[in-house]
Amino acid sequence: MSNLKQRTISKKFSVDGVGIHTGKKAIVEILPANPNEGILFFDKNHEEYPPVKARACNVVNSTRCTVLGNDKFSVSTVEHFMATIKSFGIDNLKIYIDAPEMPILDGSAKKWCELFLDAGIKEFEESVKMVDFTAPLYIESGNSSIVAIPSDKLKYTFVFDYPKTIVGTQIFTFTPSEDDFVKEVASARTFAFYEEIKPLLDSGLAKGGDLSNALIIKKDGYMSDLNFDNEPVRHKCLDLIGDIALCGFGFNAHIIAIRSGHKLNTKFASILEKKLML
């Protein structure tokens, strides 16, 4: 039996902003939920639609962001939100959104953290479902890979390299029990290379992206001041935390990701969900 108790928020709150890919304004209302309800997304425009549960089995797309959906509606770019609630140990919420994409805010999880801290946390008597790792679990795709190694505590390590760019090789390790998500990870912004922006726009993406919500990288430097010397890899760790949270339970393991993105992250979460769910 887990010693960790399930959590929700103490009071509801709302936030609005634009989606980085769609450019559409979204109003999001977040309400407390009961034990064992999980994280549920509702279409605010059609509340009769069944909710989408934040689980890996409901990932319908993972190109440049993580999209959850069912046969009625979908919601994209959930990873920063999911990373925040995972780090606050929140297991049960109802999220009502009136647009197809979560607001990007400043491109990081900083504002989400502020909102959840203001709302407060309510703890239940019911325990969090935990799964023990007894052997390593490994997946790869091309030159990207993720491995989970048995550990007495949860830990994330992200490794990537962008040769011949100012980013170079970056490595970052985050241990939630020892490090502060708000200080060490949350304010790391989504990033893109300057050369990628035009193709994204041409393909109908990044309509809501600008220097206020993304870190743009040119060949000779960054177009805005860094929040961390290694901000890009910290943001990749932020995405990893949010995507892996979709497995739907707690666990202790050292998750090591090398050059992974949303597609491999969510595939790994799906494997966890299918193989390790009790």
Please give the helix or strand (H or E) that residue 266 lies within, else none: helix 262-276
Q: Report the DSSP pairing between strands 130-132 and 250-258.
A: parallel
Rounded CA separation 278/207 (Å):
41
Nearest to 54 by CA among 30, 25, 21, 27: 30
Is 46 among the residues known to form the active site? no
3-state secondary structure at position 111: helix
Nearest to 64 by CA among 235, 263, 210, 202: 263
Between CA 254 and CA 257 the distance in angstroms is: 10
The catalytically annotated residue of 21, 235, 254, 262 is: 262
Q: What are phi and psi of 222, to 5 degrees?
A: -95, 145
Phi first, then psi: what are they for 128, rounded to 5°?
-75, 135
- Distances in Å between the alpha carbon of 103 and those of 69, 97, 135, 260? 17, 10, 38, 23
Task: Please give the positions annotated as active site.
Answer: 262
